Amino acid sequence: MSGAEFGGVDIDLLADYIGGALAGTPDETAVATRIAEDPDWRTAYESLTGGIDLVSAELGRLGPEPMPDELAASLDAMFRNPPPAMTVIDGGDTTPRVPARRARRRLRWAAPIAVAAGLVAFVGFGVDYLAGRDSRSQDTATSAAAGSAESAASPQILSTGTNYTQATLGGAAAQTLTAPDLNAPAAPKDRSGASASVPLGRLDPGQGLQACLDAIQRANAGGMISVQSVDYAKFDGSPALIVRFTAANGAWAWASGPECGTPGSGPATLGKVPVR
């Protein structure tokens, strides 16, 4: 900080002294000595002390700031009434095939995922699937919250390359939706084709995709969304992520651009239509 305003006094150092940040250090004594002996420092000290007191008083008067009702309600709904836990089913066999201890670890992990939102469970699933992790040790997850083999349809990760338009967005994906074979050898990005869609590369399953889905959820304003499929495709000729989901306000097909989920871009919506 410049000390030009007070005859070259180091205002940062003086502020540290006033704020107690120099307590017990050699600088504390040095600053105290300068305040006692140097009129410029003494003047600056008196002025800054008064100014800081005023600032502190004003800050203390800003008062409480309750969370807006709509945000509070949204959070309440998000955490209190989660959708049914989403479970990855391997060929319809709902019996956990992992050791009990492993299963418990999985359950402890799976519970918050499931409770957070269907989309979160989807991302967890998607990451495992596309990242090519050894799925045989975790191919069956059950909901700890439900305590049973509660299941739901597995969300799909597709890379159809279909060029959707506003008119076709609400239709079924051009590619047959098939459940991934979680026991298949890993070649995840080849299978998904997600990383091959370079403009959409940042939306590969993981943080990027999750941020995008979060942005869509917020923009949709229908509470939590439960994702049925994600298709790395196009919309009106431009690279687009096609997300099909349901929420309290119905079923939707949503086309988002590559910037989806980045600050300032929100869901980067290219198109959206209700699916009836």
Token pair in block for residue 75: 């959070």
- CB of 99 or CB of 147, closer to another protein: 147
Beta strands in the chain (DSSP E): 156-158, 163-164, 226-235, 238-247, 250-256, 269-274
Yes or no: say if 189 and 122 are a contact pair by the CB < 8 Å rule: no
CA angle 141, 80, 272 (to 5 degrees): 80
Site membership for another protein, residue 149 (CB under 8 A)? no
Closest by CA position to 143, among listed 180, 181, 103: 103
Interface residue with another protein, options 60, 92, 185, 237 (CB under 8 A): 60
φ, ψ for residue 243, nearest 5 deg? -110, 125
Q: How many CB atoms lie within 10 A of CB 139?
A: 20
Q: How far is the CB of 103 from another protein (least distance, A)?
A: 13
Interface residue with another protein, options 67, 172, 184, 248 (CB under 8 A): 67
Positions 225 through 244 that interact with another protein (CB under 8 A): none
Interface residue with another protein, options 31, 34, 82, 230 (CB under 8 A): 82
Give the per-residue contact string, 11-40, with another protein (x = CB under 8 A; - = no): xxxxxx-xxxxx--x---------------
Interface residue with another protein, options 26, 37, 63, 101 (CB under 8 A): 63
Q: How far is the CB of 167 from another protein (least distance, A)?
A: 28
Q: How far is the CB of 44 from another protein (least distance, A)?
A: 8
Site membership for another protein, residue 202 (CB under 8 A)? no
Yes or no: say if 166 and 240 are a contact pair by the CB < 8 Å rule: no
Site membership for another protein, residue 62 (CB under 8 A)? yes
Buried b / exposed e across 79-112, counting CB within 10 Å, b at 16+?
A: eeebbebbbbbbeeeeebebeeeebeebbeebbe
Binding interface with another protein (CB under 8 A): 1-2, 4-5, 10-16, 18-22, 25, 43, 47-48, 50-56, 58-68, 71-72, 74-76, 78-80, 82, 107-109, 111-113, 115-117, 120, 144-145, 147, 214, 218, 262-264
